[in-house]
């Protein structure tokens, strides 16, 4: 099973996105469709003369490692791994039983992937990430559009 990349030297495009994807998660499916559309169709969709965005998209149907979770936490500016990564899914650990370390969260996720918030979208090149939030994916894509169009 594939794992999150951390910048592949074989990437032809200049930006590398990993998508921690869970096909059972509606937000994960929506985020993946949005990312795929941004690669294949004009972006933003409201501007039909625009070009698609240019980035390498790698879809990973496995939880990130503890090291990757730690890096992602730095990207989102969080210091509590349970609050950023663990979901309210009925099979997730109860609040009193939630791990307080990235190693604990990684272990919980490997034992029960539904305990994670999905999707986990990471742009390793710009240090931006969105966890369990489709709106956050929109923000990341818009920042790429602004960079492409010189609107920074």
DSSP 44: S
Residue 95 has pLDDT above 50, yes or no: yes
Rounded Cα–Cα distance for residues 53 and 113 (Å): 30
- Token duo for residue 74: 């730095």
Model-level pTM? 0.85
Query: By percentage, how much of the chain surpasses pLDDT 70?
Result: 90
Output the DSSP codes for 109-125.
Answer: HHH-GGGB-S-EEEETT
**Domain 16-149: homologous superfamily in CATH:** Glutaredoxin (3.40.30.10)
Longest CA–CA separation in the chain, Å: 52
pLDDT digits (tens, 9 = 90+) for 48-90: 999 999 999 999 989 999 999 999 999 999 889 999 999 988 8
| pLDDT value at residue 17 | 78
Let me know how many helices (H) and strands (E) the chain has, helices first. Answer: 5, 4
């Amino acid at each position: 099973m594939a794992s999150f990349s951390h910048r592949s030297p074989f990437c032809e495009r200049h930006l590398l996105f990993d998508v921690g994807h869970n096909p059972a998660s509606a937000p994960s499916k929506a985020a993946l469709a949005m990312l795929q559309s941004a690669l294949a169709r004009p972006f933003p969709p409201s501007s039909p003369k625009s070009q698609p965005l240019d980035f390498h998209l790698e879809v990973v149907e496995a939880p990130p490692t503890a090291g990757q979770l730690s890096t992602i936490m730095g990207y989102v500016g969080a210091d509590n791994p349970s609050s950023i990564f663990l979901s309210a899914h009925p099979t997730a650990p109860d609040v009193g039983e939630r791990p307080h370390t990235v190693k604990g969260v990684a272990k919980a996720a490997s034992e029960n992937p539904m305990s994670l918030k999905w999707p986990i979208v990471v742009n390793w090149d710009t240090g931006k990430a969105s966890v369990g939030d489709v709106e956050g994916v929109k923000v990341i894509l818009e920042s790429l559009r602004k960079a492409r169009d010189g609107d920074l």
